[in-house]
Amino acid sequence: MKSHLILGIDPGTVVMGYGLVLVEGQKLSCIDLDAIRFDSKRSPFERLGDIHKSISLLFKKYNPDSLAMEAPFYGKNVQSMLKLGRAQGVIMSAGLEKGILVEEYSPRKVKMAITGNGAANKERVAAMLENIYRLSKITKPLDATDGLAVATCHALQILSPIKSESPNKLKAKPKSKGKGSWNSFLQNNPDRIKEN
């Protein structure tokens, strides 16, 4: 397998974390991780423009092969969910516009991939990432480690010998021709066919 660079994003309208993971064969390397802060005094729409500009600059700087994002966490605050959904839409569309493969992972799946525990806290995830990449204590915001975690989760999916179907990709069900199919039923029950 040739090398594959993954940009992981922890989306947010005030802080957007990101991490970059390079996959070379079976080896994973952390290329960078950080968080971008947006001015909370700017209108929500101006911040969406800032998010688009920031993600576009990351694409230009690193030229990733794929973009992995953390899916929204369904909390009780509907307004926060709407704002986060808009930010994710901007990030996704910017990636698709550049022809970058976009994948999305639930927070639980990311935590499970990194720590083996889908309910792990952010500090545990950060500690495991330090261990995986042999990093000294990460001093970046936890949003940055969340970005690195989702990139790592995607890298592990790429390397997995058992490919699980992405929840984002719809796959048409094959037409059944065997036992239990509609055609089989009609062949076995010709008296059930009504002529109009």
Pairing between strand 4-10 and 66-70?
parallel
Q: Write down the catalytic residue from 50, 70, 103, 146.
A: 70
Cβ–Cβ < 8 Å for 8, 18:
yes
DSSP conformation letters of 58-72: HHHHH--SEEEEEPP
User: Token pair of 35, please?
Assistant: 């968080």
Q: How many other C-beta atoms lie within 10 A of the C-beta of residue 83? A: 17
70 is catalytic: yes
Q: Write down the catalytic residue from 10, 103, 104, 146.
A: 10
- Residue 32: which of 129, 112, 114 has the closest Cα? 129
What distance in Å separates the CA atoms of residue 45 and residue 49, rounded to the nearest whole number?
7
What distance in Å separates the CA atoms of residue 20 and residue 30, rounded to the nearest whole number?
6
Q: Write down the catalytic residue from 50, 103, 143, 146.
A: 143
Measured CA to CA in angstroms, residue 98 lies from 14, 40, 151 at distances of 24, 28, 18
What distance in Å separates the CA atoms of residue 153 and residue 109, rounded to the nearest whole number?
8
User: Token pair of 178, please?
Assistant: 């065997």
Which residues does the annotation mark as catalytic? 10, 70, 143
